[in-house]
A and B are shown apart, each in its own frame.
Chain A
């Protein structure tokens, strides 16, 4: 049991708003993880899973959508195993998937530092970091295969940082007390992805993988309850095509772009997973979003994306805002020490500037809400929908660090980040403090999967950020790359065989009613988008949706705010289908049409995120619910009520979704309330 205070509990109970927005369905459970000690489960599952004879594998086809760490690694591995793989990505090359942007590193329980690391400790840290909302069995397996990932990547030629002795270097990352993070300068994601990409291209050359670049998945084909194919649009010619297989894997990343501004690539979208959701796949914990505290602030209305800077900056930088609002437009160097509020050091003396991501983010928001933000004021909308100008930035100051380490010392640690900051802002961070602000960075939610990474639709598997499985309500630093590669190299290739052993399934083609229906619905939707011919651009709708999501379903959520957001999203969605302007035709390279389809799906997802956030009347991980806080304003979890995964079933646009709860059992780790004071 938690240390829930009585008043907060009563408050949470009073406000059950569920009936208007959703219905509660039957509970669900993962049926695939075997019983027994946690350290034996994965070996047991692999042994029990049915196998496919090597000679039969080439007769079986697997579709994989996405070529990032989770998709590219899976496509290469299944190709090596001898399956016939069809791999899709929307970019012009599989090497460009957004895994490439990860900077910091990848965790692995190698214990190369002899600092008492172990599989169990990585498992423990990941569950605790996720604020006890992840499934123990999945996380343990993640920790278990983590060491194999490093071996695999090194063998591929991934140039991890090394010491003079020629062995791999490690660093400490994300507030843990061991050095288990492997890294490749500030571009670990890029180097890992290139490793997976090269393995993938090797299989393309070998003929086991057929690559479809510049193809976007627009529908899932489900035949007799099984996922059997997808409908894609060729983004160069506009051709709407069907592809059939014995199983379909979605490795399509996260949906942070529902906020319009995020650190995601411009093309990142929810369409593949959302289309699968509409066909019956449950969506797990959609409201779990990670907000990263150290991003470069918004410069104005035309900003298209946000850039993250590694949070390692918080090791030496000190975060502050002016004590008085009237100082906010002064040159920061002219503000006396006594007039500065080092608010994290003040509120959290034990952790100071190194508090977890969600706390650092929320406090930055609080300071700016108080009118003490710095940098240019940017347009936003308040809860009443009124336009307002607010400075959204706090200082991250290296003056002390430069005094202590010298400019060269700081440059040696953070030079590349300082250069990046200077290039984007035009300011010199060695001379004037950096400005930072939180930004949407990662989504822990995603399609619900079991221990085998299978969704509730047989034959539909989901890997990497696209699934909900391993990070609970908050992801630790350097764990996203680990999960993507764990799923792609080691988990999926050892679970999907259990399903494929029942294949090949009945041959289908475009004349099958399910396929014909999927093709017709995709074509109908595109025609609908092109025929609106309204007055507003796709981006103007996307930005407005982003404002709503950020204001009401961002760092801090309230019941009233979420209800407002749902009403606003419904209204905006209607307006979109009435007044959007999509230029050009389908039979062409048409980027406006691509974006329109994605934004249309973001409306529906955004609404579900708000419903999920509304129903979860607790503060948990990266999700702060204003009604659920301790007396001193910290997050308060309610394990007695919300110790479950919220898996949502689609019932129709505008219909109430059905909530299926998967109760979480903690048999190996004791539940604790976080405290950073």
Chain B
């Protein structure tokens, strides 16, 4: 099959970007979307043009490094029958002759580095603000010292599957990082290990989230729709409940 790509090209953070059209020929339906971009890049290289920069690493949907907006939806969710990362989207999801728009995550807190590559360092800083349990190596009690009921353990797990790709931010009209933050809040809030720092954690993480320039949540839900790991939307409710509760606590004041 053959496709026409309209790809965002931008030399660096301070330069202007624009959409550039390319034809890609002899695309196999079994190729992943990124393998199709590889094909384009091989072709550009042979012609002596600069290949399109895009982030990717594991190419099996777990590292969270890849992510572009395809035809207006994060990770091409609009073209995929199932929730997916960009690397697990396959060309069989497109028609022969399709015209496909490819853009980077567009959000203030994720500045473009080059072409389709953005800087998601803000996510690391939100975790630094409190997305952990303070336990030094060697200080742990036996693993069976705390039992965790299966329902809570499963809910913690569902939230912990977040891969930090940033699709939720790219999908949100407010550029909110709330689903990402709520996933970590919920993961640790469900576990006994997360309780001592629970109220301090949410205050600090939300403060960091806001200071990075992410917007507030207005319950639109597009974030959960595009999330490749299907982080439940109601983790944001958990976050809101915990945040309100924390306001009555002296922790972090």
Q: Which of B28, B44, B57, B88 has the most CB of A within 10 A?
A: B57
Q: Which of B51, B135, B161 has the most CB of A within 10 A?
A: B135
Q: How far is the CA of A91 from the CA of B63 in the complex (A)?
A: 10
Say yes or no: B57 contacts A426, CB within 8 Å. Answer: no
Q: How far is the CA of A191 from the CA of B60 in the complex (A)?
A: 16
Q: How far is the CA of A549 from the CA of B55 in the complex (A)?
A: 27
Residue of B nearest to A585 (CB): B50
A33 on the interface (CB 8 Å rule)? no
Say yes or no: A591 contacts B132, CB within 8 Å. Answer: no
Say yes or no: A101 contacts B137, CB within 8 Å. Answer: no
Q: How far is the CB of A155 from chain B (nearest CB, A)?
A: 4
What 1/0 mask marks residues of chain A from 123 to 138 whose CB sits below 8 Å from any chain B CB?
A: 0000000000000000
Say yes or no: A92 contacts B63, CB within 8 Å. Answer: no
Task: Point out the residue from B29, B46, B191 that lies within 8 Å of A157, measured CB to CB.
Answer: B191
A544 on the interface (CB 8 Å rule)? no
Say yes or no: A157 contacts B187, CB within 8 Å. Answer: yes
On chain A, the residues within 8 Å of B46 by CB distance are 535, 537, 581
Segment at the interface with B among A295-303, A334-342, A445-453, A653-661: A295-303
Q: How far is the CA of A205 from the CA of B208 in the complex (A)?
A: 12
Say yes or no: B132 contacts A201, CB within 8 Å. Answer: yes
What 1/0 mask marks residues of chain B from 91 to 105 whose CB sits below 8 Å from any chain A CB?
A: 010000000000000
Task: Point out the residue from B50, B60, B128, B188 that lies within 8 Å of A202, measured CB to CB.
Answer: B128
What 1/0 mask marks residues of chain A from 589 to 610 whose CB sits below 8 Å from any chain B CB?
A: 1011000000000000000000
Say yes or no: A96 contacts B187, CB within 8 Å. Answer: no
Q: How far is the CA of A227 from the CA of B60 in the complex (A)?
A: 36
Say yes or no: B149 contacts A166, CB within 8 Å. Answer: yes
Q: How far is the CA of A73 from the CA of B160 in the complex (A)?
A: 19
A55 on the interface (CB 8 Å rule)? no
Task: Point out the residue from B39, B160, B163, B187 that lies within 8 Å of A302, measured CB to CB.
Answer: B39
Q: How far is the CA of A490 from the CA of B138 in the complex (A)?
A: 8
Q: How far is the CA of A267 from the CA of B64 in the complex (A)?
A: 14
Q: How far is the CB of B90 from chain A (nearest CB, A)?
A: 7
B251 on the interface (CB 8 Å rule)? no
Say yes or no: A265 contacts B59, CB within 8 Å. Answer: yes
On chain B, the residues within 8 Å of A194 by CB distance are 160
A76 on the interface (CB 8 Å rule)? yes
Say yes or no: A589 contacts B63, CB within 8 Å. Answer: no
B86 on the interface (CB 8 Å rule)? no
What 1/0 mask marks residues of chain A from 561 to 594 whose CB sits below 8 Å from any chain B CB?
A: 0000000000000000000010110001101100
A32 on the interface (CB 8 Å rule)? no
Q: How far is the CA of A606 from the CA of B35 in the complex (A)?
A: 25
Q: Which of B28-66 contact A (CB under 8 A)?
A: 28-32, 34-35, 38-39, 42, 44-46, 48-51, 53, 55-65
Q: How far is the CA of A6 from the CA of B132 in the complex (A)?
A: 61
Residue of B nearest to A77 (CB): B137
Q: Which of B104-140 contact A (CB under 8 A)?
A: 113-114, 117, 119-121, 123-124, 127-129, 131-140
On chain B, the residues within 8 Å of A584 by CB distance are 50
Say yes or no: A156 contacts B128, CB within 8 Å. Answer: no
Given the contacts A93-B123, A166-B148, A537-B46, A423 and B88 also touching, CB distance less than 8 Å: yes
Task: Point out the residue from A76, A155, A187, A540 that lies within 8 Å of B161, measured CB to CB.
Answer: A187
On chain B, the residues within 8 Å of A110 by CB distance are 143
B153 on the interface (CB 8 Å rule)? yes
A321 on the interface (CB 8 Å rule)? no
Say yes or no: A198 contacts B164, CB within 8 Å. Answer: no
Task: Point out the residue from B129, B144, B194 that lies within 8 Å of A167, measured CB to CB.
Answer: B144
Given the contacts A165-B147, A197-B127, A299-B28, A539 and B53 also touching, CB distance less than 8 Å: no
Say yes or no: A162 contacts B120, CB within 8 Å. Answer: no
How many residues in B have their beta carbons less than 8 Å from beta carbons of A? 77
Q: How far is the CA of A592 from the CA of B115 in the complex (A)?
A: 14
Residue of A nearest to B137 (CB): A77
A304 on the interface (CB 8 Å rule)? yes
Given the contacts A155-B139, A265-B58, A299 and B119 also touching, CB distance less than 8 Å: no
Q: How far is the CA of A112 from the CA of B138 in the complex (A)?
A: 20
Residue of B nearest to A591 (CB): B53
Given the contacts A100-B63, A236-B113, A266-B57, A166 and B137 also touching, CB distance less than 8 Å: no
Task: Point out the residue from B114, B117, B124, B139 that lies within 8 Å of A201, measured CB to CB.
Answer: B124
Q: How far is the CB of A58 from chain B (nearest CB, A)?
A: 16
Say yes or no: A156 contacts B133, CB within 8 Å. Answer: yes
On chain B, the residues within 8 Å of A191 by CB distance are 160
Task: Point out the residue from A96, A101, A112 that lies within 8 Å of B60, measured CB to CB.
Answer: A101
Given the contacts A98-B58, A101-B58, A299-B28, A112 and B188 also touching, CB distance less than 8 Å: no
Q: Which of A157, A168, A184 has the most CB of B within 10 A?
A: A157
Q: Which of A147-162 contact B (CB under 8 A)?
A: 148, 150-157, 159-162
A1 on the interface (CB 8 Å rule)? no
Say yes or no: B45 contacts A592, CB within 8 Å. Answer: yes
Cβ contacts A to B, 13 pairs, < 8 Å: A93-B123, A93-B124, A101-B63, A110-B143, A154-B193, A156-B133, A156-B135, A159-B187, A162-B150, A166-B153, A199-B132, A266-B56, A267-B57
Known: A93-B121, A100-B62, A201-B128. 11 other contacts (CB 8 A): A76-B137, A77-B136, A152-B138, A157-B132, A157-B191, A162-B153, A166-B149, A167-B144, A198-B132, A265-B63, A490-B138
